[in-house]
Amino acid sequence: MAKLIGKNKIYCAVFISGRGSNLKSIFRYSKKKNSKIILKLVVSNKLSAPGVKFAKKNKIITQIVNYENTIKAEKEILSLLKQNDIKLICLAGFLKILSKNFIKNFNGKIINIHPSLLPKYKGLNTHERVIKNKESYSGCTVHFVNKRLDSGKIILQQKVKLYKLDTPKKLEKRILKIENKIYPKAINQILSKI
């Protein structure tokens, strides 16, 4: 993990594709006196993502990246990260898979949040699968990103109980609330160790 810069904070980027509730919770954390990050950059592959509106409103440098050509897109992002001295990337509902090469460039400095108790239920449609399998618990996980999908070292995880009448929507809503709490905690945790 990167060294902390002046005022004991590092520059952080959040990558999004949609709603941006985790972006908002990271932003709120960044504004706390004792936070360890300055949220400097938001990258989105979608102009229409509600999170983009939030980022712009809050005067965070915001870049929409055209992903028609992944190699070009990643090149553009890497250059932005360098320009802005970004030391930590937080994926927050970013629906594009980063290439092995990109991950190698930022090894150990990319984290992600996933709406399940990893290593269970990697990939998409987690809530549907959890309910279909009649699990008693689900939850969410913040983990480091490595080249295998949803498989990097776990930083923080929290369980959420399932109820008989749960639907994917209800479960998603309950888990999202917990996600918004544990993402800043996980950031704080990894940056406290350096």
Nearest in space to 22 (alpha carbons), one of 186, 174, 184, 185: 184
- Name the residue type at position 166: D
114 is catalytic: yes
**Binder among 12, 15, 18, 156 for ligand GAR (CB under 6 A):** 18
Q: What length is written for the chain?
A: 194
Indicate which residue of 36, 96, 114, 174 is catalytic.
114
By the rule CB under 6 A, 22 interacts with ligand GAR: yes
Closer to ligand GAR by Cβ: residue 4 or 50: 50
Please identify, among the stretches 19-27, 77-85, 102-110, 152-160, the one whose residues bind ligand GAR according to the rule CB under 6 A.
19-27
How far is CA 109 from each of CA 51, 76, 166, 178, 193, rounded to the nearest angstrom? 22, 18, 35, 23, 13
Burial class, 123, CB count within 10 angstroms (exposed 0-12 / middle 13-18 / buried 19+): exposed
155 near ligand GAR (CB under 6 A): no
Binding to ligand GAR by CB under 6 A, coded x per residue (else -) over 90-109, reads: --xx----------------
Site size with ligand GAR, rule: CB under 6 A:
14
Residues that bind ligand GAR (CB under 6 A): 16, 18-22, 51, 92-93, 113-115, 176, 179
